[in-house]
């Protein structure tokens, strides 16, 4: 007898749940509008996962996931310890934490190790965990968080993006560009098509 006749559900293929790419998205000052615009432009069925690493006040209660859920049909949630990273989902870093990824699940370290280095910390972890399936995107913000992480993503075969001059605060994306580690510099509405083409290249 097969599983259906026995009344049992077929086993879930974890390969179908795993994303084709995990896209780390880093931002700071001025990035909220960038997150919204990027998700507005992103289809909800790409097979990718998106992880937003935002500089937040350590004591803040994050409303970011709730706000961003209005801009995508994908499920948006705050990442938590041992949470599985699923395709077609958006995850947001918890306040006062460093976020890592290992075997398609999150590791949360709280309190954070240092101020405004959360993007680098996640990008390095993403690069080591996912290799060519890692993507780093640096959006609006001050300082240079994300630049070192992009270098590691690129060194491990992944791809990196920096927001173009449309960034409200251009220090962070310009830092990534100046380091030579940004593979693509483009406006937010052009990024989804490029991500889809990168996913297709991985399958061929």
CATH number at residue 149: 3.40.50.180
Q: Which domain does 33 fall in, by range?
A: 14-59+68-199
Torsional class of 105: left (φ above 0), alpha (ψ -120 to 50), beta (otherwise): beta
Does residue 8 lie in a domain region? no
Q: Is residue 6 part of a domain?
A: no
- Output the pLDDT for position 58: 67
Q: What is the pLDDT of residue 3?
A: 43
pLDDT of residue 115: 82
Cβ neighbourhood burial of 168 (10 Å; 0-12, 13-18, 19+): middle
| Phi/psi of residue 103, nearest 5 degrees | 50, 45
Q: Domain for residue 4, yes or no? A: no
Query: How far is the CA of 59 from the CAs of 54, 111, 117, 120, 181, in angstroms?
Result: 14, 10, 17, 21, 32
In this structure, is residue 204 part of a structural domain?
A: no
pTM of the predicted protein model: 0.91
- Give the pLDDT means over successive 10-residue stretches in the chain (204 positions): 43 66 96 95 95 82 87 96 97 94 96 90 98 97 96 98 96 96 96 94 79
Domain count within the chain: 1
**Residue 9 domain-assigned (yes or no):** no
pLDDT at 204: 65
Within a domain: 124: yes
| pLDDT score at 172 | 97
């Amino acid at each position: 007898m097969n599983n259906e006749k026995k009344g049992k559900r077929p086993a879930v293929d974890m390969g179908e749940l795993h994303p084709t790419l995990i896209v780390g998205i880093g931002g700071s000052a001025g990035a909220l509008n960038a997150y919204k615009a990027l998700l507005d432009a992103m289809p909800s069925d790409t097979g990718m996962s998106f992880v937003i690493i935002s500089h937040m006040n350590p004591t803040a209660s994050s409303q970011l996931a709730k706000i961003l859920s209005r801009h995508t049909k994908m499920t948006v949630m705050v990442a938590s310890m041992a949470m599985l990273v699923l395709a077609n989902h958006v995850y947001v870093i918890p306040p006062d934490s460093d976020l890592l990824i290992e075997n398609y699940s999150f590791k949360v370290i709280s309190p954070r190790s240092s101020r405004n280095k959360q993007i680098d910390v996640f990008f390095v972890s993403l690069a080591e965990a996912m290799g060519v399936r890692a993507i780093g995107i640096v959006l609006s913000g001050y300082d240079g968080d994300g630049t070192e992480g992009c270098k590691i993503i690129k060194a491990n075969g992944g791809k990196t993006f920096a927001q173009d001059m449309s960034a409200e605060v251009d220090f962070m994306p310009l830092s990534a560009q100046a380091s030579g580690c940004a593979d693509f510099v483009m406006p937010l509405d052009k990024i989804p098509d490029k991500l889809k083409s990168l996913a297709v290249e991985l399958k061929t």
